[in-house]
């Protein structure tokens, strides 16, 4: 059990191992870059717009500047923090994975797993708020805001997509490490 490759000769075995190591490095670098860009993209997201507001029907409309900021929504703040943490751990595990064996592998799988949970929960949170921002919810009387802050909302969508790719990369890293543990004799 756990030793499917008993019949392979040394060279083939070594090649396969190097292939797995290379794909692990690629996935980690990808996760690092994607979470970094996602965190920056949403962290620096801000849009200010001049909106005409009528106080009384007799007076002309006032031009009032209104702005959307990431710090206004706690789910977006959580998203930026989660992606920053995942970015830092991707860097740490990248260094560890290059040298790690045995018990280090098990620790790396646990860290990767935490990052999957962290990233998916933050994507869910930011995605749910973004969806209401885009469509509104008539039952709760929460009006959509993306018609006003279109640029802000586009940047949220882009950031969510990048972070989802990073979360999937972490998911594959757990599967990769698990299959490695499965294969090592």
Name the residues that contact a copy of itself, by CB under 8 A.
1-4, 68-69, 72-75, 78, 101-103, 105-106, 109-110, 113, 116-118, 120-129, 131-133, 137, 139-143, 145, 167, 171, 174-175, 177-179, 181-182, 184-185
Least separation in angstroms between CB 90 and a copy of itself: 17
Least distance between a copy of itself and beta carbon 171 (Å): 6
Nearer to a copy of itself, 49 or 127 (CB): 127
Residue 12 vs 137, nearer CB to a copy of itself: 137
Q: Are 107 and 64 in contact (CB under 8 A)?
A: no
- The CB-of-71 to a copy of itself minimum distance in angstroms stands at 9
CA 174 to chain centre: 16
Within its chain, how far is the Cα of 87 from the centroid? 9
CB of 154 to a copy of itself, least distance (A): 17
Element (H, E) at 176: helix 150-183
The CA distance from 21 to 140, in Å, is: 50
Shortest approach of a copy of itself to residue 13 CB, angstroms?
A: 13
Cβ-based burial of 80 (10 A; exposed 0-12, middle 13-18, buried ≥19):
buried
Nearer to a copy of itself, 12 or 67 (CB): 67
Give the Cα separation of 38 and 166 in Å (integer).
Answer: 9
Tell me how far the alpha carbon of residue 84 is from its chain's centroid: 9
- For a copy of itself, the closer of residues 4 and 60 by Cβ is 4
């Amino acid at each position: 059990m756990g030793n499917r490759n008993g019949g392979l000769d040394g060279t083939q075995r070594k090649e396969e191992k190097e292939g797995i190591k290379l794909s692990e490095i690629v996935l980690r670098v990808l996760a690092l870059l994607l979470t970094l860009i996602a965190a920056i993209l949403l962290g620096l997201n801000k849009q200010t717009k001049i909106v005409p507001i009528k106080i009384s029907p007799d007076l002309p409309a006032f031009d009032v500047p209104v702005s959307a900021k990431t710090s206004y929504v706690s789910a977006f703040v959580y998203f930026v923090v989660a992606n920053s943490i995942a970015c830092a751990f991707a860097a740490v595990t990248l260094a560890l994975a290059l040298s790690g064996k045995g018990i280090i592998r098990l620790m790396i799988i646990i860290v990767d797993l935490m990052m999957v949970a962290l990233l998916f929960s933050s994507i869910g949170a930011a995605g749910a708020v973004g969806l209401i921002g885009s469509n509104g919810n008539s039952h709760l009387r929460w009006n959509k805001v993306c018609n006003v802050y279109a640029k802000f909302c586009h940047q949220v969508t882009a950031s969510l997509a990048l972070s989802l790719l990073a979360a999937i990369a972490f998911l594959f890293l757990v599967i990769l490490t698990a299959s490695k543990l499965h294969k090592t004799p």
